[in-house]
Amino acid sequence: MNAIFQPKFQLKAAIVAGVSLGLGYVLQNHVDVPQGHVLEWIALSIGLVYGIKAAADSLKDRKFDIDVLMAVAAIMAAYVGHPEEGALLLFLFVLAGALEDLAMEKTRREVEALHALMPEEALVFRDGEWRTAKPEQLVVGDVIKIRPGDRVPADARITVGESGFDQSAITGESMPRHVKPGDELFAGTINNDDPVEAEVIRVASDSSVQRILNLVTSAAAQRAPVQRTIDRLGQPYAIGVMVLSTVVVLVWWLILNRPLVGDETSRGALYTGITLLIVASPCALVIATPTATLAAIARAAKGGVLFKGGQSLQRLASINALCFDKTGTLTFGRPRLYEVHPVAWSDGDELLAIAAGLEADSTHPIAAAIREAARSRGVETLKPDSVNHVIAKGIEGRVNGCPVRLGRYSFVEELIPVCFRNRVKEVLERMQERGHVAVSVAQDCSSHEGGGQAAVLIMADSVRPGAGTLVSRLHAIGVKPVRMLTGDNALTARRVAESIGIDRFDAELLPEDKLKIIRSMRQEDHLRVGVIGDGVNDAPALASADASIAIGGIGAAAALESADSVLLTDDLSSIPWVIRLARQTSRIITFNIFFALSVIASMILITIVGSLMERHVPMSFGVLAHEGGTILVVANSLRLLFVKGFERRPNV
């Protein structure tokens, strides 16, 4: 039985009720099929299943709220011969409830997304041999082995070996971090290269991933749900309407000596009370928000932004400052080779072919960038005679019988002709000062004609489309400051910030640091802050912000679940547009609520005064006013479907 009250089933039931109601109306009013009213009763019955349960649950909790009023209004509407009114009211009630419950289910997945970072087992040295154990069974002082491709099971310190670790999930740093004995490893990071041994320094429950999980849970719990406001206003309203209707019936009957039931020529007290209850039923008020919200969500989806619910739209509409992560958000999160700088090389394509051959089997991001550049330029890879990976230095081999090296300058220097070494170092230093990634490559062919050759491969994490005009367009709509928060190094952060005009940037941050900055901006600067990010390291900031957007293309699952909304494309041009859409939605919702309340108040006054003057408001007029107000509210909301889309602009 409980299955029918699950959100997905409830959504399907709402759709069936809506289709039945619409079809019944068409059959009765346009096809002249009297049996169409049966479909209206079916729609009403479906709605009552959920409406009566909601009302019963409220009464069970000793609350007389808007759920109770809607159920009573629907039943009374059917009693006076207008089942379509009750069916429409309950259809919207069931639909809104289903969508809200589905949105709530998403928030529970953030815990699962964070836990997915942790491996299921660890390799630990105990009793003179390597054994597998659960990460939660590790204790401080245990020696663990992390093999290539393994995730670190607990925060630890390297004791034996050197390797490169992908820690972008924790720090957001775009390049793997080279670690050696004495360096600390974060739980959840991935070993890219060689096996290492490490000593556990914190148990799994105190690890970096667990701290992020705690931050997300705490930040999410501090949000004041919009539902509290609805409940707080709904109960007094519902009680007031019921009391008013009851008082009118009693006063009209007992004091004014009006008949209780009456007839077609003399409307009774009960007729007036029911009319009052119908005109005061909050159908237009109830749909004032969900219709605008659904229209805005549908329009935003066409523009590449997915909202998780109405609260997400309302929060985004209120922001006046915005913070961005860098890696994977403002940038693609991976290096791209954009220049081959030959210092002593006759053929740049030959250099790229040799470099791609050396890196053919490597999983390092630099290797991937070199191979991608060779493919895009149509350069055929030269297969080396031999290849040897040298830990923390680079890669070497032989091509056409000549030794070749690629990597750090100190490793490649031996093969660089002496007369070109200063030039290579100069290029490397200049690129590093600009925040670029640069590696050296050299080939010693002194025993062959042509001698030695050397070059510098220059790479950078390029910005996403739309980033070039992003800041100026945000300033134009009153969002300022625009700030960048990143775990990457300061030089790289400065390069990206200056290239797109960021107002302020903070680099080399951990998740805790980002959260402190967000809280400071909110509490000390009194700003309403939005956060846009993509990684697990962004999840606490996303959860604590006034509004948050996750980059969906390559975003981590925890970030997507922590955020209010998700950017589905790589184009950042949609962000200013969707903020304007959220603000327009907020204005329409405000107007809808004001209009709905005005109609209700006016009809209550007309109904009471008309009855006192024995000029009773016909039930049909009350229904017309009620439906007319509803239609106008819906029509006003649907304008959001036709909001013009954003213009994709080239980067500058």
Per residue in 537-547, pLDDT tens? 677 888 888 88
Average pLDDT score over residue span 571-575: 82
> Which helix (H) or strand (E) element contains residue 403?
strand 402-407
Average pLDDT score over residue span 247-272: 78
Bigger pLDDT: 205 vs 109: 205
Average pLDDT score over residue span 167-181: 71
Residue 387 pLDDT greater than 80, yes or no: yes
Half-sphere exposure of 565 (CA within 13 A, CB side): 33
Q: Which residues pair with 124 in a beta bridge?
A: 131, 144
Sign of the Cα torsion 227, 229, 232, 235 reads negative
What local confidence, expressed as pLDDT, does residue 652 receive? 34
**C-alpha to C-alpha distances, 335 to 30, 62, 406, nearest whole angstrom:** 63, 60, 16
What local confidence, expressed as pLDDT, does residue 158 receive? 93
Look up residue 507 and give its amino acid.
Answer: A
Q: Could you tell me which of 515, 455, 459, 453 has the C-alpha nearest to residue 492?
A: 459
Average pLDDT score over residue span 381-385: 86
What local confidence, expressed as pLDDT, does residue 362 receive? 79
Diameter over CA atoms, the chain: 121
Residue 220 pLDDT greater than 60, yes or no: no
Bigger pLDDT: 543 vs 647: 543
What local confidence, expressed as pLDDT, does residue 156 receive? 92
Q: How far apart are the first and last CA of the chain?
A: 59
What local confidence, expressed as pLDDT, does residue 647 receive? 45
Residue 54 pLDDT greater than 90, yes or no: no
Structure tokens, 58 = 């409220």
Strands 143-146 and 163-166, how do they pair?
Answer: unpaired
Q: What is the pLDDT of residues 419-454, one digit of tens each?
A: 888 888 888 888 877 777 888 888 887 655 556 788
Range with the lowest mean pLDDT among 226-240, 276-290, 458-472, 488-502? Answer: 226-240
542, 548 in Cβ contact below 8 A?
yes
Residue 385 pLDDT greater than 80, yes or no: yes
What local confidence, expressed as pLDDT, does residue 369 receive? 87
What local confidence, expressed as pLDDT, does residue 59 receive? 85
Structure tokens, 649 = 């602009």
Residue 319 CA, distance from chain mean position: 16
Mean residue pLDDT of the chain comes to 79
Highest mean pLDDT among 197-201, 460-464, 483-487, 624-628: 197-201
SS3 content of the chain, % helix, strand, coil (to 5): 55, 15, 30
What local confidence, expressed as pLDDT, does residue 579 receive? 92
Sign of the Cα torsion 293, 298, 301, 306 reads positive
* pLDDT confidence band for 484 (50 / 70 / 90): very high
Residue 225 pLDDT greater than 50, yes or no: no
* pLDDT confidence band for 627 (50 / 70 / 90): low
Residue 616 pLDDT greater than 70, yes or no: yes
Bigger pLDDT: 287 vs 165: 165
Domain boundaries, the chain: 122-206, 336-460
Residue 524 pLDDT greater than 90, yes or no: no
298, 319 in Cβ contact below 8 A?
no
Domain 122-206: CATH class, spelled out: mainly beta
Average pLDDT score over residue span 543-567: 69
Rounded CA-CA distance 229/238 in Å is: 14
What local confidence, expressed as pLDDT, does residue 112 receive? 55
Q: Could you tell me which of 491, 492, 453 has the C-alpha nearest to residue 341?
A: 453
Kindly report the pTM of this predicted structure: 0.63
Rounded CA-CA distance 322/331 in Å is: 16
Highest mean pLDDT among 54-68, 299-313, 511-525: 511-525
Range with the lowest mean pLDDT among 6-20, 70-84, 306-320? Answer: 70-84
Rounded CA-CA distance 409/518 in Å is: 40
Look up residue 462 and give its amino acid.
Answer: S
Average pLDDT score over residue span 630-637: 80
Rounded CA-CA distance 508/488 in Å is: 5
Beta strands in 109-162 (DSSP E): 122-126, 129-133, 143-146, 156-160
Rounded CA-CA distance 570/331 in Å is: 9
Residue 185 pLDDT greater than 60, yes or no: yes
What local confidence, expressed as pLDDT, does residue 650 receive? 38
H helical segments located in 281-408: 283-302, 310-318, 348-358, 365-376
* pLDDT confidence band for 214 (50 / 70 / 90): low
Structure tokens, 97 = 């409830």
Q: What is the pLDDT of residues 276-285, one digit of tens each?
A: 877 887 767 7
Q: Which residues are catalytic?
A: 325
Range with the lowest mean pLDDT among 59-63, 195-199, 271-275, 586-590? Answer: 271-275
Average pLDDT score over residue span 595-611: 87
Percent of the chain exceeding pLDDT 90 equals: 12
Range with the lowest mean pLDDT among 144-148, 343-347, 371-375? Answer: 343-347
Instruction: Specify the fold of 336-460.
Output: Calcium-transporting ATPase, cytoplasmic domain N (3.40.1110)
Q: Could you tell me which of 503, 459, 457, 511 has the C-alpha nearest to residue 484?
A: 503
